[in-house]
Every structure is written in structure tokens, then in C-alpha cells.
Amino acid sequence: MSNAVSAMNGASFKGSVTIKDTGLQGMITLRGDFKSAVVAKALKTATGTAMPETGQILHSAKGSAAWMSPDELLLLVDYTKVDAIIAKLDKALSGEHALVINVSDARAMFEIKGAATRDILAKGSPADMSKEGLPVGVMRRSRLGQLAVAFWMDDEKTAHMVCFRSVGEHVFMWLKNASEKGSLPKYYT
């Protein structure tokens, strides 16, 4: 996989915040019954996390699990281990009605870092970007400008954002434009 490249191939930009393509990220879509103990157990094995509540993202040393919809999770794991984890999940869920599919390459992921992170996100997403509206531990499925994205805060200064790979360049340009000199709204900072 030495010839595999992420959407923006690790590009970065430093403006009022620092924007970085975080490179290849293992992502798995898991659809199934969240109430099923089998699903919860399979999830625990795959990411080391419990089942996230509505809107939640949970992290562990092994990976993360984010709530996407009432029957869909996004699992974040090591890119190189995706196939192995999917094989394990498929085996564990063989008796269940569930869907496990690799979406690592269908997405782009960015890190947005800096004190102005919430200000930058609030230029593009109609969701509430205050500490109360987007606390650490919540993944918000929303939009950025004209595009569907999902994002969460790792801490007060750092956000991660996921979008479709084909529009990764647009999202990167959008974030770059939003953090250009002289454009900081200073609402959350």
C-alpha cells in the first residue's frame, strides 16, 4: 500500500488556525441493531469502545466509534488494520443482520487546530458551535458551506473533520479561505 495517497496527500495550511490533511485513516461503516449485545461486543473488540449514545463519539487507544444514525456507526481505526478488523467483525456478526464495510478511501479527514477553531467552523456550519452546543465527545453531522461533513472537538483547540474524498480539495480550500488573515470573527475567541 506504499502507493496509497489520501485526498489532499497530507497538505497543510497555517492561517488563524492550522489545517492538515491527516492522511490515510481507517474508517468502517457498521450498521446493525445497537441494542444487540453481539453488536456491542463486536464493537468493543474492534475499537475498544462502548456503544456511543446519540451524537456521541467515543475514543480508546484502539480506535473510535461515532454515532451516525440510529442504526449506523462510523468506526475509526488504523488504516493498515482495516481488512483484519472487518474480517473479525464479519465473523463476530455472522449471526446478526448487520453491514460492515470499508469506507476508508471514500473519505478525507482534516485536523483543524488553534484557539479560533470554533470560530472557523461557525462560518460554515449552521450547527451550534458553542461549548454547550458542541462539547468534546460529540460528533456533529452537519455541513460546511455547501458540503456535508462531520466533525468533533478533541479538545478546546482541536477539531477533526470528515468529508467525502471527492470534495476533500474543496473542503480544504474552504477551510483555508475561512482562516485567511483578517477574517476572524472573534465570537468564540
Residue 141's SS3 state is: strand
Strands 107-113 and 139-144 come out as: unpaired
Annotate 126-157 with DSSP letters as a single string: -S--STTTS-TTBEEEEEETTEEEEEEEEETT
The residue range among 35-43, 56-64, 153-161, 169-177 that interacts with other proteins, by the rule CB under 8 A, is 169-177
Q: Would you give the binding string for other proteins spanning residues 21-50, x where CB under 8 A is met?
A: ---x----x-xx------------------
Tell the smallest beta-carbon distance from residue 50 to other proteins (Å): 22
Residue of 129, 159, 161, 162 that binds other proteins (CB under 8 A) = 129
- 134 grid coordinates: 458542541
Q: Does 81 bind other proteins (CB under 8 A)?
A: no
β partners of residue 160: 111, 152
Measure the CA angle with vertex 105, ends 66 and 69; round to 5°. Answer: 25
Residue of 130, 135, 156, 189 that binds other proteins (CB under 8 A) = 130
Residue of 11, 38, 40, 127 that binds other proteins (CB under 8 A) = 127
Helices 82-92 & 37-47 angle (0-180, nearest 10): 160
Q: Does 19 bind other proteins (CB under 8 A)?
A: no
Q: Does 97 bind other proteins (CB under 8 A)?
A: yes
* CA separation for the pair 125, 51 (Å, rounded): 26
Residue 41's SS3 state is: helix
Q: Does 122 bind other proteins (CB under 8 A)?
A: yes
By C-beta, is 40 or 103 nearer to other proteins?
103
* CA separation for the pair 17, 149 (Å, rounded): 18
Give the residues lining the site for other proteins (CB under 8 A): 1, 3-6, 24, 29, 31-32, 71, 97-99, 101-107, 122-130, 133, 145-147, 164-167, 169-170, 173-174, 177-178, 180-185, 187
